[in-house]
Structure 1
Amino acid sequence: MSTVIEQAVQARLVASAPQMETVPATLRYDREDPFAVRMAFPPPATLEGNEVSWAFSRELLTAGVDGPAGVGDVRVRPFGFDRTVLEFHAPEGVAMVHIRTSEVRRFLKRVQGMVPRGREHIYLDLDHNLAELLRDAC
């Protein structure tokens, strides 16, 4: 059984112009990092021309589907009937994308099936992580 879930989504990039550009993006969840979700944007969708990936908590995405969530670099909130807005804050500026809420909910349902909420700690390899932290300490 795979320990990774990837789901392609169509993200609508909100720009200062009235038109929204649709860009491909990928939501990714890895059971080996059970508290995190990643959203990746391909090179053509970024200012630098390199793939950009944002990591944020699974809990943030879950909460943001139903109400405003987040105060840091990533913020999530519902918008209209079937849209979820993700805001990515960086020193260069803010990127805001709209995704169909149904796609986000489908992704979260798949994640829940792999690692139920509240059970994430079972999938952490604390011995390995502690060894990595202490590796350079001696």
Structure 2
Amino acid sequence: MSVVEQYARAHIVKDTDVTVLEERGAVPVVLRYDPDIDPRAIRVGLPGPHEWTFSRSLLEQGLRAPAGNGEVRVWPCGRVQAVVEFHSSQGVEVVQFDSKALLRFLRRTYIAAAQPVAH
């Protein structure tokens, strides 16, 4: 199975920030899927050393309706945006994506997962 890695632009705000999401510039975020490590999980790499791992199904559910599991929550924001919220002991990070980028990434992960394993 093949690894999927996709870069997306997102707006990030931490609970220590006072700036509204729309006032900040977009930053690069990397979306990763490695079925050899865990075929049910995806990773989101934020700028700096921050990387979050959570279920692919949580992302899919959260694009349609609010969903959450433990430290990660996902919900649609209007017709073209989605929000992913990460909770840790250091605080909360809210990441706003274009939904199309997340849907494209999910489609690529399902294609990768369906590929036969080479022997």
Pairwise CA distance, 1:20: 2.7
Q: What TM-score comes out, normalization by structure 2 length?
A: 0.85
1:43-82 correspondence runs (5 A): 43=48, 51-82=49-80
Is structure 2 residue 38 aligned with structure 1 residue 36?
Answer: no
Paired with 2:27 and 2:91, the residues of 1 have a C-alpha distance of 18
Choose the corresponding residue for 2:83, options 82, 85, 101.
Answer: 85
Task: Point out the structure with max Rg over C-alpha.
Answer: 1
Paired with 1:10 and 1:106, the residues of 2 have a C-alpha distance of 13
1:3-18 correspondence runs (5 A): 3-14=2-13, 15-18=17-20
Is structure 2 residue 109 aligned with structure 1 residue 111?
Answer: yes
Range 75-84 or range 12-21, more displaced: 12-21
Percent of residue pairs identical = 39
Paired with 2:26 and 2:66, the residues of 1 have a C-alpha distance of 23
- Which residues of structure 1 form unaligned runs of 5+? 44-50, 117-121, 124-138
Size of the aligned set, in residue pairs, is 110
Task: Decide which structure has greater helix share.
Answer: 1
